[in-house]
Structure 1
Amino acid sequence: MKLVGNLYLPSNYKAGGKLPAIVVTGTWITVKEQMAGLYAKKLAEDGFATLAFDCRYYGESSGEPRQYESPRAKIQDIKNAITYLLLPVVDKSRIGGLGICFGAGYMASVAAQDSRLKSFATVAAWLHDPKSLKQLFGERVIQQQMQAGLTARKQYAETSIEIVPAFTTESNPLAAMTGQPIYYGNPQRGSIPEWKNQFALMSWIDWLQFDAVAIAKSHRMMVIAG
């Protein structure tokens, strides 16, 4: 499996120095050139070594099927990114993580599992569990998404992958995101050439069953909210 990322260093970095590092993960369905890259560049200006990367199935990284949102794979790839950050330029005792929107759930899971990650922060955290998903989508829509995902997985095993829009302004419960084109529909923001407006329909199976809150029952951590 090949993962591709961009490593950013402060402009005033001097060879031989050790820097605190941050691995940055954007929300679901995104690539490194979107929000993850934006935050990584800004944090590098503040003195950090930062890494924004494409998880498997997305962007320049390898993996099939393409545009497949797998929480388990993304959590593993964040761990892989931490392994990469064990560079001579990095202070290994000061590696942190930043999770943006749904990426916060992935990063929280890594923080609970991987002791190499010493701290993590979130931006607009989306930490969903089965209860919150029912409140967001409704039971009927969740059943529709799950059934469509199961059908799509069977189709992928037999013939080909089924793709739906990752974002649409139309009403489509099977698309990953719907609404106004503020980010994903704006070429100045999220609608960039590196991003494909595609979502592997079978992603719903794993995504709907991911619980970003369950780990809180067994792991203590200091939280600063603001």
Structure 2
Amino acid sequence: MTHASITRRTFGLAVGATATLFNTGIAMAQTLTEQNQSKPPLKVSFPSGDGFVVANLYLPEGYDASRRYPAVAVGGSMSSVKEQMGGNYARELARRGIIALAIDYRNYGESSGIIRQYEDQESKAEDLSAALRFLKARSDVTATGILGVCTSGGTAMYAAARDPNVRALATVAGYFGDPEFMLKFFGGQEGVDRRIALGRAARKRYDETGVIETVFAYMPNDKTATSASPSEYYMDQTRGGGVRAWRNEFAVMAWEPWLAFNPVAQAPKVTAPTLIIHSDGAAFPEQARKVHDLLAGPKELYWSVGKHFDFYDQAPTVGDAADRVAAHFRAKLA
């Protein structure tokens, strides 16, 4: 059962509308920057795959075009847009002397893509690599890295496993799936098979009619949602739920690639220096430890405190994480 559907035509209208809504993360930003609001970011775009990515570029305070800075692409949670946690961290990194780029993945926010709200880690990894190419081409950049928050922590493993432009990597409250984990999380083989069947049927319907079936991405106690757990960050209109460019939707046809998401298998291929920040209160801490153990290069595991969503927008938790992430990138990307 789906809660919404869109067609190719209505998707085009929706994308046009979101172009006017890119600076909507006000409530969340105030959580971190109630005083001394920093300079607004620059909106940029660049090619990726068969389309383009739109991103917000945050320059360091006191930016000097004659200097060179570490530069980092930042991605957020599943279904997120650049005005949510990705923007929060990009802003905080810029305050700490780093050029930071918060992106809308293709099929989300202002970026291109026909199948809106479609979760595809291979495509997302391509977008992170495209972001690094964009940053590397700048004359004010020393070297490039990736910060992945929540799901993008896993996505970043895909990019880092294959892209030499990932000179350093950091994850905060990362979501790191593997087949064994997915079986447990989605009710065993029957639950996985049922969702794959739903996804294939939705894909068939899309191919035949152009209709994109969706379910809630986050909805407590809704078994049709991608995540039925308590999701206060998304349910709260003063936090992530109040960002108008964000849509609480997951394309049903994405079930198969979402269930195949396996950053744990990518970790042994990652040789870039990596910092993993997690806590007992963040999502699935045992998976974070597993990924850390498998990394092939220099690595650090910082065990913080706080609930999962505290890492998205709560000033003390984000500030502590940003301090450590910025120090990591300044050291590794000099």
Please state if 1:167 is matched with 2:243: no
Aligned to 1:104: 153
TM-score normalised by length of structure 2: 0.65
Query: What is the rounded CA distance, in whole Å, between the counterparts of 1:218 and 1:194 in structure 2?
Result: 35
Aligned to 1:133: 182
Structure 1 pair 53/217, CA: closer, same or farther in 2 (3 Å)?
closer
Please state if 1:120 is matched with 2:152: no
Equivalent residue in structure 1 for 2:141, among 90, 96, 99: 90
Please state if 1:189 is matched with 2:239: yes
Aligned to 1:221: 297
Query: What is the rounded CA distance, in whole Å, between the counterparts of 2:269 and 2:162 in structure 1?
Result: 11
Other structure's SS at 1:23 match: strand
Report the alpha carbon displacement of residue 180 of structure 1 after superposing the two structures with TM: 2.6
Report the alpha carbon displacement of residue 181 of structure 1 after superposing the two structures with TM: 4.1
Structure 2 segments unaligned to the other structure (5+ residues): 1-50, 271-295, 303-334
Report the alpha carbon displacement of residue 218 of structure 1 after superposing the two structures with TM: 4.2
Aligned to 1:211: 262
1:76-87 alignment, distance < 5 Å: 76-86=126-136, 87=138
Aligned to 1:143: 193
Query: What is the rounded CA distance, in whole Å, between the counterparts of 2:201 and 2:170 in structure 1?
Result: 37
Contact 2:202 2:213 in 1 (8 A): yes
Aligned to 1:33: 83
Report the alpha carbon displacement of residue 31 of structure 1 after superposing the two structures with TM: 0.6
Aligned to 1:180: 230
Please state if 1:21 is matched with 2:41: no
Other structure's SS at 1:195 match: coil
Report the alpha carbon displacement of residue 122 of structure 1 after superposing the two structures with TM: 0.6
User: Alignment length, in residue pairs?
Assistant: 223
Structure 1 pair 114/207, CA: closer, same or farther in 2 (3 Å)?
same
Query: What is the rounded CA distance, in whole Å, between the counterparts of 1:133 and 1:207 in structure 2?
Result: 10
One-letter code aligned to 2:62: N
Structure 1 segments unaligned to the other structure (5+ residues): none
Query: What is the rounded CA distance, in whole Å, between the counterparts of 1:24 and 1:149 in structure 2?
Result: 29
Other structure's SS at 1:85 match: helix
Report the alpha carbon displacement of residue 196 of structure 1 after superposing the two structures with TM: 0.9
Question: Pairwise CA RMSD of aligned residues?
Answer: 1.3
One-letter code aligned to 2:214: I
